[in-house]
Amino acid sequence: MVLEHAILVSLSERAGSGYELTRRFEKSIGLFWSATHQQIYRVLKRMEEAGWVTVDVVAQSGRPDKKVYTVSDDGRAELVRWLAEPDPGAGPVELAVKIRGATFGDPAKVAEEIVRHRDKHAERLDVYRQIEKRDFPAPANLDGQHLHQYLVLRGGIRVEEGQVEWFDEVLSAMETALNPKDAR
């Protein structure tokens, strides 16, 4: 249900039509996760049926009426619930949506989720580094199958390093925002 929550975050930032949401996704969330125009409209319909959004129909001269979607009280409650909910299986996209939406819920709960994921990635990084040290002590001498195995392991190490660094950056910024007096 990440698309629903991404739409709730976007509509919490600013009400809009399905067309406007599609354009926003292309310029922000869509840089790392895409949703088609049709997907967004289908999800908006489900969200309206669930009571998460309200619709204002705006008459337009010479064009079809425009539906402008706004987050309802039930939608805000759902967003707050989802932001606080631990999700051990969340990937970078889900976490990015939670970080972007932290303002609309409890930022401390989102930070707790980031800490959990950071720790998981740090543990995986440690395992990869142990394998590297144990199985590939002289990488400059590798060739063939062993070189290729090493290169894949290095890719895993780089991904995990990037994740841990990003989570550290997020946590540092969120800590500063939560405790601005401590930043001085």
Domain boundary among 60, 78, 101: 101
Q: Tell which residue, 73, 77, 69, 74, has the closest CA to residue 106.
A: 77
Q: Which domain holds residue 28?
A: 2-101
Question: Which residue shows structure tokens 């249900």?
Answer: 1
Residues 44 and 115 in one domain: no
Residues 16 and 85 in one domain: yes
Residues 122 and 158 in one domain: yes
- CB 135: neighbour CB atoms within 10 A? 11
Model's pTM, two decimal places? 0.85
pLDDT one-digit tens code per residue, 84-138: 999 888 888 889 999 999 999 999 999 999 999 999 999 999 999 999 999 999 9
Q: How many residues does the chain have?
A: 184
pLDDT one-digit tens code per residue, 12-52: 999 999 999 988 888 876 666 677 889 999 999 999 999 99
Residue 68 lies in a domain: yes
Residues 116 and 25 in one domain: no
CA dist list (Å): 141 to 72, 148, 153, 157: 62, 12, 16, 19
Number of domains in the chain: 2
Alpha helices in the chain (DSSP H): 2-13, 18-27, 37-50, 73-84, 92-101, 107-135, 144-178
pLDDT for position 182: 60
Q: Tell which residue, 24, 19, 166, 172, has the closest CA to residue 95.
A: 166
Domain boundary among 68, 86, 101: 101
Beta bridge partners of 78: none
Residue of higher predicted confidence among 2 and 18: 18
Are 102 and 110 spatial neighbours (Cβ–Cβ below 8 Å)?
Answer: yes
